């Protein structure tokens, strides 16, 4: 039953059968678990407060802030805690700016003649010419004087990259209030050994005067400024795909140092609503050093860390995302504090360490073998907790070691139960490559992510498809999209009463229905609308195709479209796969599987012609192996059997709207490794059946009633494919991909067979998906009987326990102690260094040899052939 309006609903309400009464709904709501709103006095932490340290945050409405799934999580989890659990959850994000190489603040100039002080609503865009990048130390007062403006006409701001070029190019932004907290932190210098480097910081709160696309403006949320953070053009000081020089990790670590002061020492005041949280969730690699800095803070005797629970979330444990260096001096700058700099200066071998830092510790031309031995002997025990199975210093190992050293106060984990198993299993050696045994050695705490249906805007006829200023987002084009809002019958009355009170909410939830067939019909219309627009643009040429999906700036950055599909006709199915443009997402498994499906001689050509595929990710690194593989597959698909499938496949190389899940019949996701998988959850929200590779979160929430899985995990051990670790990484990966292709081809067969021959099964699967509870506060089925919110608050942060039950004592430092050199080290080294110089490194501490070499750790900890594979995977 579709309800076209509130008035229409009231005229039909008596026709709804078996509807839960309002009294029952109120009773059920009252019985739901509520968090205890308790504030403790005397400096003890507040159990009902949580600090979320997140690099990305989709709630800002700025494209740089949600390049991946972490941006969705960074916004939705705190928002859900606020709305459904009454938690005072606040986000803390790293400062960043478009084109700000000087590292000062950025200001936006708002002359009163154009932006009057009583302006009720700020515009969505401000011209690029209105933004000013200041020098470090240049204040708002300085800028106002420089441009002859009133203080009220100059604002602190985060500027998004403009759409287009020139002074009038439109730019999204986030207004900030003046810094509420300023200070400095110190750490071991990157320039001079034994000296300190002082980093200034500031805390700026997001202004309530921001445009409507900013969802964070109505609750306290913050940016942390340092001059180096301010130079970054996106929330990560490295790019969203993990690529960066290691210096970025030092900058990120500085932010974490500042946050230990800001959150736990400087916000427990009336101005900040006495924010003194007992709970901190630290998202992604950027925040993995937080536990180390809290431990340093506590070990120094600072009791402000007492009773704190810190949970470090590993959103991606793939090797490309781990944050690596072979330079111990850079790692000291990441994990060390002022006391370490002082200790280094007092070491008897300080001169040799200085020489090692200047020329490189493994530089055999600058340092003698004995000097290298001495340097390693001193540094290896101090940094031993941070070396992975390849002997590399690893940022993720900082989070692992922090949880291992202080398990009562610090924990780490990932975002699904299945992937928790995979990253600990030798049966999936690349899930957390060179960290497998490290994760297995500690107690991890993992929670399956949620997904908030409203954030997909499937019922909003005015929401954009893409970043805006593109063809699909024009008012005329959006008229062709059929919005839909599905509500279960027993929830309809409460939902209608809710939107009746909120005109904005009502406008974003059009075509309300309790009938899954109406949802399927709307998506069929949308599939024809989208594919029709694509075909029309494709016939006009490449320029029209690019403009359909992307704005001017995106096109200039390399976003483009390969090929185009023809319009969906009766009997056709449209399949959609999207994600980040990197190796984790396994796009060649999708394209290779589709190619195998089309090559299958046992399937009639007329059946295969009914299957159309859109993939979307990018823009890619043009040298990436996956990019080249996709291009090869695309060319072969388009030329196969004389070109009869030329318009059955296309690729959108650039940001691809997740709202397309409401315009297709099926979705397909073929990650090599997948921690949770926000994209399949978004398919569920649209009632769109899907297929996925059998890894991570999708294994937790996919079954025969809601989707299709491949037969096995992608990244098994080489022996599974008749190979060994003597083969190259490329050979092993290709064998894994080839093994998956027929499994994915079989999923395409199941898609078309179900849609063509089992319509009732397709309707049932669509209904099962759209009715599954995936929201953060209501996804108990996949979270061991509790919602994600409650799993975090009760099982990890232990909100339901008294504060006195927490460990309140001093934390232990995660770093070790500096070692000392003994002459017997030279004799040991001589026996090992002849054939593999400096690959086997022994530090001698009190006469005990400590192995820290890459080769032996790799062999013994991960790939010894005598060890059996974990049967659980």
Exposure string of 841-860, with b = 16+ CB inside 10 Å and e = fewer, is: bbbbbeeeebebbbebbbee
- Report pLDDT digits (tens) over 567-597: 999 999 999 999 999 999 999 999 999 999 9
The whole-number pLDDT of residue 44 equals 74
Exposure string of 639-648, with b = 16+ CB inside 10 Å and e = fewer, is: ebeeeebbbb
The whole-number pLDDT of residue 258 equals 98
The strand pair at 410-413 and 666-669 is best described as unpaired
Confidence of residue 68 (pLDDT cuts 50, 70, 90): confident
- Report pLDDT digits (tens) over 192-214: 999 999 999 999 999 999 999 99
Q: Classify 452 as helix, strand or coil.
A: coil
For the chain, counts of helices (H) and of strands (E): 30, 28
Q: Is the pLDDT of residue 626 over 60?
A: yes
Average pLDDT for 850-873: 34
Confidence of residue 120 (pLDDT cuts 50, 70, 90): confident
CA 614 to chain centroid, in Å, comes to: 23
Both tokens assigned to 162: 């403009």
CA-CA distance, 65 to 174, in Å (whole number)?
Answer: 11
Average pLDDT for 279-288: 97
Both tokens assigned to 546: 């690019």
Q: Is the pLDDT of residue 739 over 80?
A: yes
- Report pLDDT digits (tens) over 828-860: 444 434 333 333 333 333 322 333 333 233 333
The whole-number pLDDT of residue 43 equals 55
Both tokens assigned to 751: 């898609």
Q: Which pTM was predicted?
A: 0.90
Confidence of residue 823 (pLDDT cuts 50, 70, 90): low
CA-CA distance, 266 to 420, in Å (whole number)?
Answer: 36
CA atoms within 13 A on the CB side of 154: 21
Q: Which residue has the higher pLDDT, 150 or 238?
A: 150
Q: Are 407 and 414 spatial neighbours (Cβ–Cβ below 8 Å)?
A: no
The whole-number pLDDT of residue 5 equals 34
Long-range contacts of 863-866 (CB under 8 A, 24+ apart): 863/426, 863/429, 863/725, 865/724
Q: Which residue has the higher pLDDT, 802 or 223?
A: 223
Peptide bond into 619 cis (omega under 30): yes
> Of 304, 311, 315, whose CA–CA distance to 280 is shortest?
311
The whole-number pLDDT of residue 69 equals 85
Q: Are 672 and 695 spatial neighbours (Cβ–Cβ below 8 Å)?
A: yes
The whole-number pLDDT of residue 802 equals 86
CA-CA distance, 183 to 246, in Å (whole number)?
Answer: 25
Q: Round the average pLDDT of the chain to a whole number and report it.
A: 89
The whole-number pLDDT of residue 690 equals 98
- Report pLDDT digits (tens) over 260-276: 999 999 999 999 999 99
The strand pair at 88-94 and 222-225 is best described as parallel
- Report pLDDT digits (tens) over 644-666: 999 999 999 999 999 999 999 99
> What kind and span of H or E run contains 612?
strand 611-616
Q: Is the pLDDT of residue 862 over 60?
A: no
Q: What's the 3-state SS for 558-577?
A: CCEEECCCCCCCCCCEEEEE
- Report pLDDT digits (tens) over 125-154: 999 999 999 999 999 999 999 999 999 999
The whole-number pLDDT of residue 548 equals 98
Q: Are 423 and 431 spatial neighbours (Cβ–Cβ below 8 Å)?
A: yes
The whole-number pLDDT of residue 304 equals 93
CA-CA distance, 388 to 402, in Å (whole number)?
Answer: 14
What's the chain's length in residues?
Answer: 873
Both tokens assigned to 190: 């990157």
How many Cβ atoms are within 10 Å of 566's Cβ, its own excluded?
18
- Report pLDDT digits (tens) over 155-188: 999 999 999 999 999 999 999 999 999 999 999 9
- Report pLDDT digits (tens) over 503-519: 999 999 999 999 999 99
Contacts of 10 (CB under 8 A, 6+ apart): none
- Report pLDDT digits (tens) over 19-62: 233 233 222 233 344 444 455 554 578 999 999 999 999 999 99
Q: Is the pLDDT of residue 13 over 90?
A: no
The whole-number pLDDT of residue 237 equals 64
> Of 50, 266, 20, whose CA–CA distance to 776 is shortest?
50
The whole-number pLDDT of residue 238 equals 52
How many Cβ atoms are within 10 Å of 384's Cβ, its own excluded?
18
CA-CA distance, 77 to 792, in Å (whole number)?
Answer: 10
Confidence of residue 243 (pLDDT cuts 50, 70, 90): low
Q: Which residue has the higher pLDDT, 501 or 867?
A: 501
Both tokens assigned to 755: 């849609």
> Of 669, 650, 557, whose CA–CA distance to 612 is shortest?
650
Share of the chain above pLDDT 90, in %: 84
Average pLDDT for 694-713: 97
Confidence of residue 803 (pLDDT cuts 50, 70, 90): confident
Sequential DSSP letters for 226-238: -HHHHT-SSSSSS
> What kind and span of H or E run contains 344?
helix 338-346
The whole-number pLDDT of residue 479 equals 96
Both tokens assigned to 356: 């090692």
CA-CA distance, 258 to 235, in Å (whole number)?
Answer: 17
Both tokens assigned to 59: 């709630």
């Amino acid at each position: 039953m579709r309800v076209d309006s509130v008035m229409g609903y009231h005229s039909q309400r008596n026709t709804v059968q078996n509807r839960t009464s309002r009294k029952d709904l109120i009773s059920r709501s009252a019985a739901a678990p509520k968090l205890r709103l308790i504030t403790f006095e005397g400096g003890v932490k507040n159990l009902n407060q949580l600090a979320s340290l997140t690099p990305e945050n989709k709630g800002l409405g700025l494209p740089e802030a949600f390049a991946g799934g972490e941006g969705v999580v960074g916004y939705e989890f705190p928002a859900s805690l606020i709305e459904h659990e009454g938690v005072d959850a606040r986000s803390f994000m790293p400062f960043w700016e478009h084109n700000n190489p000087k590292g000062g603040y950025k200001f936006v100039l708002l002359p009163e003649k154009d932006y009057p002080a009583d302006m009720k609503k700020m515009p969505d865009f401000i011209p690029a010419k209105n933004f000013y990048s200041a020098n470090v130390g240049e204040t708002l007062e300085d800028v106002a004087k420089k441009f002859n403006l009133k203080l009220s006409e100059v604002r602190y701001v985060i500027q998004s990259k403009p759409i287009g070029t020139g002074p009038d190019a439109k730019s999204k932004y986030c207004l900030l209030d003046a810094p509420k907290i300023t200070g400095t932190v110190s750490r071991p210098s990157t320039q001079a050994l034994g000296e300190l480097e002082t980093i200034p910081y500031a805390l700026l709160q997001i202004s309530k005067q921001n445009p409507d696309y900013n969802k964070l403006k109505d609750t306290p949320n913050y940016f942390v400024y340092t001059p180096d953070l301010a130079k970054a053009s996106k929330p990560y000081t490295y790019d969203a795909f993990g690529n960066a020089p290691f210096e970025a990790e030092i900058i990120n670590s500085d932010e974490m140092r500042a946050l230990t002061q800001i959150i736990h020492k400087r916000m427990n005041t009336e101005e900040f609503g006495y924010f003194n949280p007992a709970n901190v969730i630290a998202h992604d690699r950027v925040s993995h050093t937080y536990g180390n800095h809290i431990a340093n803070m506590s070990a120094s005797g600072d009791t402000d860390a007492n009773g704190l629970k810190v949970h470090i979330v590993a959103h991606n444990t793939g090797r490309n995302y781990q944050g690596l260096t072979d330079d111990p001096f850079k790692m000291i700058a990441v994990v060390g504090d002022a006391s370490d700099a002082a200790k280094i200066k007092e070491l008897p071998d300080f001169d040799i360490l200085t020489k090692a830092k200047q020329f490189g510790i493994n530089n055999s031309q600058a340092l003698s073998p004995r000097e290298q031995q001495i340097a390693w002997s001193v540094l290896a025990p101090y940094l031993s907790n941070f070396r992975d199975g390849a002997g590399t210093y690893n940022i993720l190992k900082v989070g692992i070691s922090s949880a291992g050293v202080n398990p009562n106060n610090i924990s780490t984990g990932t975002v699904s139960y299945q992937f928790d198993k995979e990253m600990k299993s030798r049966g999936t050696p690349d899930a957390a490559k060179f960290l497998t045994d490290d994760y297995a050695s500690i107690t991890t705490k993992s929670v399956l992510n949620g997904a908030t249906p409203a954030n997909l805007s499937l019922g909003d006829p005015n929401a954009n498809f893409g970043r805006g200023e593109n063809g699909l987002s024009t008012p005329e084009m959006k008229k062709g999209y059929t919005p839909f809002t599905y509500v279960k019958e027993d929830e309809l009355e409460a939902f209608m009463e809710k939107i009746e009170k909120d005109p904005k909410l009502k406008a974003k939830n059009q075509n309300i229905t309790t009938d899954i067939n109406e949802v399927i019909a709307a998506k069929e219309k949308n599939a024809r609308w989208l594919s029709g627009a694509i075909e029309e643009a494709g016939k006009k040429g490449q320029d029209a195709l690019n403009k359909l999906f992307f704005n001017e700036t995106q096109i200039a950055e390399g976003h483009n479209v390969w090929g185009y599909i023809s319009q969906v006709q009766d009997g056709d199915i449209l399949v959609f796969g999207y994600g980040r443009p990197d190796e984790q997402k396994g796009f060649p498994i999708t394209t290779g599987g589709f190619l195998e499906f089309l090559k299958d001689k046992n399937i009639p050509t007329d059946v295969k012609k009914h299957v159309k595929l859109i993939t979307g990710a990018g823009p890619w690194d043009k040298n990436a192996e996956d990019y080249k593989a996709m291009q090869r597959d695309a060319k072969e698909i388009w030329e196969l059997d004389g070109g009869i499938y030329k318009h059955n496949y296309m690729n959108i190389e650039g940001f691809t709207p997740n709202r397309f899940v409401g315009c297709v019949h099926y979705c397909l996701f073929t990650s090599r490794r997948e921690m949770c998988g926000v994209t399949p959850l978004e398919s569920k929200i649209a009632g769109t059946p899907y297929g996925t590779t059998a890894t991570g979160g999708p294994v937790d929430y996919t079954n025969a009633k809601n989707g299709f899985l491949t037969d096995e995990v992608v990244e098994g051990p080489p022996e599974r494919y008749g190979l060994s670790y003597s083969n190259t990484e490329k050979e092993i990966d290709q064998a894994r991909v080839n093994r998956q292709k027929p499994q994915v081809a079989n999923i395409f067969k199941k898609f078309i067979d179900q849609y063509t021959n089992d319509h009732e099964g397709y309707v049932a699967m669509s209904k099962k998906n759209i009715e599954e509870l995936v929201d953060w506060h209501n996804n108990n089925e996949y979270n061991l009987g509790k919602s994600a919110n409650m799993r975090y608050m009760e099982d990890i942060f232990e909100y339901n326990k008294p504060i006195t039950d927490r460990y309140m004592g001093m934390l232990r430092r995660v770093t070790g102690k500096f070692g000392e050199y003994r002459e017997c080290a030279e004799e040991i080294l001589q026996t090992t260094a002849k054939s593999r110089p400096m690959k086997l490194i022994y530090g001698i501490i009190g006469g005990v040899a400590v192995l820290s070499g890459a080769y032996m750790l790799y062999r013994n900890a991960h790939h010894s052939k005598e060890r059996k594979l974990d049967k659980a995977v």
